[in-house]
Amino acid sequence: MEPRNKTQIAGFLLLGFSEIAELQPLTFGLFLSMYLITILGNLLIIMATISDPHLHTPMYFFLANLSFVDICFTSTTIPKMLQNIQTHSKVITYEGCITQMNFALFFGVLDDLLLTVMAYDRFVAICHPLHYTVIMNPRICGLLVLVSWILSALHSSLQSLMVWRLSFCTGLAIPHFFCELYQVIHLACSKTILNDLVMYCAAVLLAGGPLAGILYSYCKIVSSIRRISSATGKYAAFSTCASHLSVVSLFYCTVLGVYLSSAGTDSSHSSATASVMYTVVTPMLNPFIYSLRNKDIKRALRSFL
């Protein structure tokens, strides 16, 4: 196959999950339902935190940001997949593919960084309660979110620019439902050693680093909770972390599941199916986890509705 310059490429083919035509309506209905539930659930969390003055605290400020990012993350991939199923087309333009890949990277990393910031917030609240309002003041909270956005933007821009420099062959079928970075890079005919190096280094820094920060925060939190004498106090302290810990576990377990399944099998379709967990299912479940386990959110939702 002769390599083509990127300006000559008409587009890529997103193969999705199944070639069986009879399953397409079922796939369309399932993903449309999950997408609408994700949008509605996260919008309700955002509106509840805005409308209730009791929720104008750092924890719920970060939660509202996380809900907004979850909406954007899901909207990066699902609408295009639904459009392709509806129009019986698998095509996505070259520019559209790179744009989708850029935003998927951006919101995926931002989701990870916000979970880390929320872990730090819980660490300060439980380990340094007397200094909580001083440490987690509005300026610091805004700065933490801003830094997360900047780091995510720099990472996604770097990866996208490095893909732009690649030359691609004529076989441009992506065995995935969206333009995932790894799949796009390995369609290239030109050398991808530098792309692979940057991709794996970024994974270590932007996934391993936040995970280490979250684990450190929770080690300190557990140590502080164990020093509380009363069982009621221990339960109250742990309950403030339970929802966040559930979301973190769900996010990292699904992400690790995707990459372990990719390493353990040659089937890219199994990787695509596993990717649904962290790109669709996790953002959909987050509002339920926070609303079902949090009395303040439930009260705010009842007042808002």
pLDDT at 293 over 50: yes
Q: The pTM is what? A: 0.89
* SS3 category, 136: coil
Rounded distance, CA 275 to CA 258, Å? Answer: 6
Helix axes 58-87, 282-292, angle to 10 degrees: 140
Helices (H), 88-192: 94-127, 132-135, 138-164, 181-185
**Mean pLDDT over each residue of the chain, to the nearest integer:** 85
pLDDT tens column, 176-206: 889 988 888 888 888 889 999 999 899 889 8
Q: Does the pLDDT at position 255 exceed 80?
A: no
pLDDT, tens only, 10-51: 688 888 776 666 778 888 999 999 999 999 999 999 998 888
Per-residue pLDDT for 4 more than 60?
A: no
Question: Could you state, in order of their start, the residue ranges of all structural domains in the chain?
Answer: 6-304
pLDDT of residue 46: 92
| Per-residue model confidence (pLDDT) at position 20 | 65
Q: What would the CATH number be for the domain defined by 6-304?
A: 1.20.1070.10
Residue 9 three-state SS: coil
Q: How confident is the model over 153-182, as a mean pLDDT?
A: 87
Local confidence band at 269 (pLDDT 50, 70, 90 cut-offs): low
Question: What's the CA gap between 60 and 66, in Å, rounded?
Answer: 9
Helix (H, G, I), strand (E, B) or coil at 180: coil
